[in-house]
Amino acid sequence: MTHASRRRLVTVVTAVLALTGPALAADPPVAQKASIAVPQPLACPTGTRSSRDYEFNLMGNRAGYQTVCLQADGTRVVHFAYNDRGRGPAFTSKIELDANGIPVAIATDGNDYLKSPVAERFRRASGTATWQNKVESGTQPVAGAAFYVSQSGSFEEIGLLARALRDAPGRKLPLLPQGEADLQQLSQLKLGNGESSRQASLYSIGGLGFQPTSVWLDEDGELFATIDSFSTLVREGWQDSLTALRAEQDAQEASRRTAQVRSLRRAPSGPVVIEHANLFDSEHMTMRPGTTVIFAQQRIVAVGPDGSLPIPAGAERIDAGGRALLPGLWDLHTHPALDDGPLFLAAGVTSVRDMAAEPDKPALLRVFDTNEAIGPRVTYAGIIDGRGPFQGPTKMLVSDETEARKAVQAMSAAGFGLVKIYSSMDPKLVPAIADEAHRAGMRVGGHVPAFMTAEQAVLAGYDEIQHMNMVFLNFLYDKVQDTRTPARFTAVAEHAASVDPQSARVQAFLRLLKQRHVTLDPTLVVFESLLTDRAGVVGPGAAAVADRMPPLVRRSLLEGGLPVPDGKDASYRQALTQMQRMLMAVRSAGVPIVAGTDALPGFMLARELELYVEAGVPAPEVLRIATLDAARLAGLEGELGSIAPGKLADMILVDGDPSRNVGDVRRLRLVIKDGALFDPDALCRALGIQLLAATGR
């Protein structure tokens, strides 16, 4: 799982055997060596007056297309599809517009990102709007202009929304089913393409998610391009313009982020004293009530009982009022984009590990350290995969040992701490990758490649295993060998109950993990969503935060998880319970666990920790996993992970006592990162997130 598992680039909201094991396959199937399987564009229907074609890329690799067919009557027929490791949407939309360019009817059929059927309908007539999609149905009286946001929509719809907003009074429109969007024009560019030229205008749409959405329109008001850190859509034949478009968009978005820093980050001019705190001692997993902490600039100066420390002259004093003071939290499985930064801090996550970085990523996210943007500290795992139809969304693709070693060397030069191997990697290359990484002082982990078992990966040099399903697949090799596709999820969903964590086979494997000092990054929260979420209902993982989210983000939380075959609902739900049982077996075997989410930035970490507690891990131990243990894995225990003199001032102040109820980490009152103060309420307001009702604020 990577970025797409949490972004689900399907909607315009742009709103995871015996111990000896079988022998390695002599040669992976030929298909593994082929190019990525890009869906072939569908032809426009009869009666098309003109058409526009677009190329869709994931991480710089062509992955799909969008074709817009303009009919003689003004109707638009849109074909949209892409392939992301066997996942990805494929659907056709028929869109009818009124005189103002606002949809009055939409019919979309096909499948969504996880291959669930799509049959979405919207119609507005006689002052009434009606809609039905996989998560909801509704009827609503509408007076005046209002724009329906499809649950499963193409990028064409975001272009239509931008144009409708451009022409609307005040450049604002109500959204259906709920919400409001607004528009700002940021800049224009004159682009050339041989003998052709176009003028593209950059617009920013507010109201679709946590941050404004950028979109480029041409001089006719038609969609020209959309660009984010993970994907691009651009008019066919104009791919060379992406460099100029991205540079201009980056500059405009950087200005917005700098403004956020000025309004939301406060750097004290002198020492700060936090008094009367109930401090969590992550080293001993205990609470220390009545504690004072003094920090100045970036560093903690002193920690001691209230009244025992001299207070520096002119110090700012903060009365914690008995609230819990914890080290800043870590999420060790993220895929951070620049606009995700405030989300992490708004949830108390002050440090993260990027689990699919490429060598240029640290330069991009360096703005979090230079305070040009709000965001957490970032450590890096570089992703590497083999070429093939299900290759991961990365440019670090290799086919032989020479390429593999060069890729690892590039990651080492970029300062990465982990090489993350992905699912299409040729198993024969794993020992060479591990050798090169270990020579450079890096760790090795990731997915277990297809046609390989977790045991073989560990024996070949893995130091970590990402995702709990990879542990189960070690014992399901007789059922699934090609794990490049969603089979790595569905096989576990259907057969997890057959894997007994206390069996001799499993226990022998866990002893191997212990002997080889392998760490497990289970990401249970993403499996809770995949296995137990059902369309139309907010799942248990997001239940605590869903009502706080912006309207269209909350709506995206109704998507549901994996498509569930008839009669398999119980086994899918039971698979999560089995994962929690396995977590306890892993812990009992002495295998280290780290907390990562691979989910909604920041706000899903608390649920990951709750799942550990529900499994049976004591809450104080879970807090240590998310603080000191994480810092140790990152090699930063001398700087972070506990509240102690000399360490960096990364802390969170929360209502309640997370050592008793770990979910109290959601009840944030103050976030301190690198000695700077952040009001979590102000961060939430800036992101369109409602304040936590339980605090009474």
pLDDT per position as a tens digit, 644-691: 999 999 999 999 999 999 999 999 999 999 999 999 999 999 999 998
Q: What is the pLDDT of residue 61?
A: 86
User: Does residue 291 surpass a pLDDT of 90?
Assistant: yes
Q: Tell me the average pLDDT across 637-642.
A: 98
Is residue 460 a contact partner of residue 431, using CB atoms and an 8 Å limit?
yes
Q: How confident is the model at residue 111 (pLDDT cuts 50, 70, 90)?
A: very high
pLDDT reading at 13 higher than 50 = no
Q: Average pLDDT of 18-33?
A: 37
Domains of the chain as residue ranges with CATH? 3-14+37-263 (no CATH), 326-695 (3.20.20.140)
pLDDT at 5 over 60: no
What pLDDT is stored for residue 35 in this prediction? 60
> pLDDT tens, 509-537?
999 999 999 999 999 999 999 999 999 99
pLDDT at residue 25 greater than cutoff 60: no
Whether 32 shows a pLDDT value over 50: the answer reads no
At residue 384 the predicted structure's pLDDT band, cuts being 50, 70 and 90, is very high
Distance from C-alpha of 398 to C-alpha of 682, rounded to nearest angstrom: 45
Q: Tens digit of pLDDT for each residue in 234-243?
A: 999 999 999 9
Q: Mean pLDDT, to the nearest integer, of 99-116?
A: 94
673, 376 in Cβ contact below 8 A? yes
Please, which pLDDT band fits residue 193 given cuts at 50, 70 and 90? confident
Give the DSSP letter of residue 665.
G
Mean pLDDT computed over 581-593: 98
Asked if the model's pLDDT at residue 694 lies above 80, the reply is no
Assess whether pLDDT exceeds 50 at residue 2: no
Q: Does residue 81 register a pLDDT over 50?
A: yes
Instruction: For residue 115, give the nearest of 97, 96, 134, 99 by alpha carbon.
Output: 134
Q: What is the mean pLDDT of residues 289-310?
A: 97
- Residue 681, amino acid: D
Mean pLDDT of 484-497: 95
Residue 329, token pair as written in the block: 């939290």
CA 686 to chain centre: 20
Of residues 24 and 91, the one with the higher pLDDT is 91
What span, in angstroms and rounded, lies between the C-alpha atoms of 378 and 369?
9
Residue 92 predicted with pLDDT over 50? yes
| Whole-number percent of the chain with pLDDT over 90 | 89
On the 0-12 / 13-18 / 19+ scale of CB atoms within 10 A, 75 is: middle
What's residue 59's pLDDT?
Answer: 81
Q: Which two tokens stand for residue 563?
A: 């498509």
pLDDT band at 230 (very low <50, low <70, confident <90, very high): confident
Query: Which whole number is the average pLDDT over 369-391?
Result: 96
| Rounded percentage of the chain residues whose pLDDT exceeds 70 | 94
pLDDT of 222 strictly over 80: yes
The residue behind tokens 């914690």 is: 320
- The residue behind tokens 């950028």 is 214
Confidence label for 296 from pLDDT (cuts 50, 70 and 90): very high
pLDDT of residue 33: 39
Q: What is the pLDDT of residue 21?
A: 39
Give per-residue pLDDT as tens, 338-378.
999 999 999 999 999 999 999 999 999 999 999 999 999 99
pLDDT band at 11 (very low <50, low <70, confident <90, very high): very low
Distance of CA 620 to the CA centre of its chain: 26
Tokens representing 36 are 């990525």
More confidently predicted of 33 and 418? 418
Q: Which of 186, 176, 251 is nearest to 12 (CA)?
A: 176
